[in-house]
Amino acid sequence: MAENRQDAESRTGRRRSTVRSLLRLWPYARAVRGRLAVSVTAASLAMLSTLAVPVVLGRIVDGSLARHDLDALWPPVGLLLLLGLVEAALFYTRRVVLSRPLGRLEATMRADLYAKLQRLPVSFHDRWGSGQMLSRATTDLNAMRLFLAFPLVFLIVNSVTFLAGTVLMFVQDWRLALIVLLPSAPLLVLTRRFESGYSVTARLAQDQNGDLATVVEESVLGIRILKAFGRHRTMAENFRAQSHRLRRTELRKAHQLANLWAVIVGLPEIALGCALAAGAYLVAHDELSAGTLVAFLSTALALRWPVESLGWLLAYANESATAADRFFEVMDEPEPEDRGTAEALAAPGTPDGIRFSGVRFRYPDAPDGTPDLLAGIDLHVRSGETMALVGATGSGKTTLTALLPRLYEATGGRITLDGRDIAELPREKLRELVAVAFEEPTLFSATVRENVLMGAPGADERQLAAALATAQAGFVEKLPAGVETEVGEQGLSLSGGQRQRLALARAVVGDPPFLVLDDPLSALDVHTEALVERALREVLGSTTALVVAHRPSTVLLADRVAVLADGRIEAVGTHRELLRDCPHYRELMSGEAALVPEGGRTR
C-alpha cells in the first residue's frame, strides 16, 4: 500500500496534457456522438437566445421607450418572453437527450474495466490495492460520465457564446469591447498555470481516495482480527491519518480553485466598471446612444457566466482527465500473452501425470541479487498419484502449485500435464483440467449452488449432488434453503470446515483430471479435520493431485511426498522412506520446522 501511494505520488509528478487524456475517451464517446451534437447544438442555441435578449432590450430603449410609444412595446416584450421559453425548452432538451446514453456508456466502461481486471494476471493484483480498483470503477467512471454530460458541452457552448458575444460587442461599440476584453490576456496565462498545478493536486486526491478505500475495505474484511488483537484503534488512527491527508489535498484543490475564481470574477468586473464609465462618457457626449449602451452592457453581463464558469469547467475537465488517466492506466496494462492453441489440447495425451522439468520462478518485485525462489524444480507426479509437497515456511510451495494453472508464469523450464506443455494449452482450457482449492476457502456472496458450480458452470444437478457428497458436505441439506442458501460475505456465515468442504466440492464438481490443494486441512478442529480428511480421500482417489502439506495428517493422504528446499526438490519418497532417510523431512514433520530458516533447511 505504501508502495502504491509512492507510485501515485510519483505519477502525479508526471506532466500530462488534459486534452490528450480526455481525447482517449473518444472510442467510448463515439457511441453517443449524435446525441452529444444535439446536446451541444441545443445548449448553443439556448445561449445564443440569451444573447439576443440585450439586442431586443437595446431596441426597446432606443425605440418605443425613447418615443414614449407604449403600443410599440408589446411586440418586443412578447419576443423576450418567447426567447425565455425557447431557452428553457432547449436547456431541457440538452439535459434529457444525454442522460440515458451516458448511463449506458458508464456501464460499458465499467464492464470493460471489470473484464480487464479478470484478465490481468495475479501479479498485477499483487501490486495494486483493491481500493484503487474500487475508486476507479466508481468515482472515476462517474467523473468521466459527468464530464461528457456537462463540462464538455459547456466548454464548447461557452466558447461559442463567448465568440458570438465578442463579435456582438464589437458591432455595438468597438472601444467598449476592447476595454471589456482587456483582461483576457492575463486570464489566459493564469488558467494555463492553474491547469498544470491543479492536475497534479487532482491526481493526488484521486489516488489518496483509492488508498483510503483500501484501508476501509481491509478493516471491514479483517474486522475480526482487528478486534481480536485490539488493533482497531491503530487502524482507526491509520484511517484518520489517511483521511486527513486527503482533506489537506482537497483543501489545496479548493485554494487553487478559489484563487483562480477570484481573478476570473474580479478582473472582468473591473473591466465592466471601466466600460460602464467610458460608455456613460460617450453617451453624455452623444457619441453613443443610450440603447446601444444598455445593449452593450447587457451583452457583457450575459458573457459573465461563460467566463466565470471557466474556473470550475477547467477544474472538472482536469479531474475527468485524471480519472481517464487512472482508468486507462489499468486498461493499458499488458495482458499475459496466451500462446496456447486448441491443437495442443487436441493432441492425444499420454497418461504421464504432472511433470516439472527444470522449472524456475522469481516474483517480478523480488529484490535484485536474490536467488530465484524456484531454482530448477524437477518433479514427477505419476498419473492417478497424490503427491504431498512439504517444505519450510516461505520455501515456495504455494508458488509452485500456482504455476500449474498458470496463475503465475514460470520464468524457466517446462511443466507438462499428461505430456502436454501447459504453456501451449489455452489458459482457459488448462484451468478446466486443473482444479484448485486454496488454503483460504473463499466463498462469494452467492448461493451454495452458485459457489460450487463456479468450478464447472455447465455441471448439472447430479454432478452438483455428487460433488457435495464427495466433499462430505451433507450439512448443506440442513441449511435454511439447502443449496439455494446465500453464503459468503453477505450471506450465512459458515464454519471453517464447512467452507473448506464447499471449496473442495467446487474443485471436484467438474471431475478435473488434475487437482491442486493448498494445505486443505489447515486450521481445522479434530472433528472437522476427520470429516474433511474423509472427503479428501474420496476426492484424491480419482485424480492426479499435488497437495501442499504442513502436517503428518495431510501427508498421510498422499502416496508419495516431495520435499522442497532452497528452490529445488530435495527428496521424493513415501512418508516412511523420508522419515528414515531425510533429516530435513524429519525436522519438518516433528515440529522442529519452526527452527528451520525461512525457505531453506537447517544446516
Ligand X SMILES: Nc1ncnc2c1ncn2[C@@H]1O[C@H](COP(=O)(O)OP(=O)(O)OP(=O)(O)O)[C@@H](O)[C@H]1O
Binding residues for ligand X (CB under 6 A): 126, 363, 365, 373, 391, 393-399
Amino acid occupying residue 71: D
Closest CB 113 distance from ligand X, rounded Å: 22
Closest CB 401 distance from ligand X, rounded Å: 8
Q: CB-wise, 518 or 529, nearer to ligand X? A: 518
Give the C-alpha distances (Å, rounded to integers) separating 483 from 454, 467, 473. 13, 12, 11
Q: Are 418 and 351 in contact (CB under 8 A)?
A: yes
User: Which of 386, 385, 421, 383 is closest to 404 using CA atoms?
Assistant: 421
Q: CB-wise, 18 or 500, nearer to ligand X? A: 500
Q: How far apart (Å, rounded) are the C-alpha atoms in residues 19 and 57? A: 39
Closest CB 46 distance from ligand X, rounded Å: 55
Q: CB-wise, 128 or 316, nearer to ligand X? A: 128
Q: Indicate the DSSP class of residue 140.
A: I
Closest CB 365 distance from ligand X, rounded Å: 5
Closest CB 596 distance from ligand X, rounded Å: 11
Closest CB 452 distance from ligand X, rounded Å: 25
Q: CB-wise, 67 or 125, nearer to ligand X? A: 125
Give the C-alpha distances (Å, rounded to integers) separating 467 from 124, 138, 549. 32, 37, 23
Amino acid occupying residue 488: G
Closest CB 398 distance from ligand X, rounded Å: 3
Q: CB-wise, 239 or 363, nearer to ligand X? A: 363
Closest CB 399 distance from ligand X, rounded Å: 3
The pair phi, psi for residue 74, each rounded to 5°, is: -65, -45
Q: How far apart (Å, rounded) are the C-alpha atoms in residues 501 and 115? A: 29
Q: CB-wise, 121 or 384, nearer to ligand X? A: 121
Cell 501511494 appears where? 5
Q: CB-wise, 94 or 397, nearer to ligand X? A: 397
Q: How far is CA 584 from the centre of its chain?
A: 45
Q: Are 362 and 340 in contact (CB under 8 A)?
A: no
Q: How far apart (Å, rounded) are the C-alpha atoms in residues 257 and 247? A: 15
Q: How far apart (Å, rounded) are the C-alpha atoms in residues 208 and 195? A: 20
Q: CB-wise, 317 or 521, nearer to ligand X? A: 521
Strand 434-437 to strand 514-518: parallel, antiparallel, or no bridges (unpaired)? parallel
